[in-house]
């Protein structure tokens, strides 16, 4: 290693020592995530209130970690839950097993499931609280996370 390379390394270190660190007060100010970030799952409804999920289980078949459980049931004509012939009576995702690959989102032909940008998924009781049920997945996450703008990503 030459003296020039060593001095260049010291210069980079000295320059970094003089810059002020960027501190974000985490609970109050969340770090913006990139728009393509894959976080918490969310099930969606149509504007008329019917669920988009028809219980086809393609998301469960595409999942490499086998963390999605779908039990389908036939729709009743007088009390419809989804737009299709069937609906997901049970839809559960074991978030402790999920690898956030997005295959479930890609496999769904109705865009019923998406991976949102929420990343606060810690729980105290892992076996009980990290299995998200259908009712939890249909609700928006209570703690929203901002998206990172292109200007902030470059700066």
Domain assignments of the chain as residue spans, ordered by start: 31-154
**Over residues 103-122, mean pLDDT:** 93
Partner residues linked to 72 by β-bridges: 88
For residue 2, pLDDT over 70 is answered with yes
CATH topology of domain 31-154: Alpha-Beta Plaits (3.30.70)
What pTM does this model have?
0.76
For residue 145, pLDDT over 90 is answered with no
Nearest Cα residue to 138 out of 38, 67, 42: 42
φ and ψ of 57, to 5 deg: 65, 20
Say how many CA atoms lie within 13 Å of 125 toward its Cβ.
4
pLDDT at 93: 97
Which of 4-8, 31-35, 87-91, 149-153 is predicted with the least confidence, judged by mean pLDDT?
149-153
């Amino acid at each position: 290693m030459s003296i020039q390379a060593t001095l260049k390394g010291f210069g980079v270190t000295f320059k970094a020592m003089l810059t002020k660190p960027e501190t974000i007060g985490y609970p109050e100010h969340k770090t913006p995530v990139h728009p393509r970030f894959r976080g918490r799952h969310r099930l969606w409804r149509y504007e008329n209130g019917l669920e988009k999920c028809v219980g086809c289980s393609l998301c469960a078949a595409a999942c490499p970690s086998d963390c999605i459980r779908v039990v389908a049931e036939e729709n009743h004509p007088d009390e419809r839950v989804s737009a299709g012939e069937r609906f997901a009576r049970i839809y559960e995702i074991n978030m402790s097993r999920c690898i956030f690959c997005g295959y479930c989102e890609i496999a769904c032909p109705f865009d019923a499931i998406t991976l949102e940008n929420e990343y606060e998924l810690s729980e105290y009781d892992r076996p009980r609280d990290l299995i998200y049920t259908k009712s939890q997945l249909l609700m928006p996450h209570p703690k929203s996370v901002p998206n990172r703008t292109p200007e902030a990503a470059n700066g």
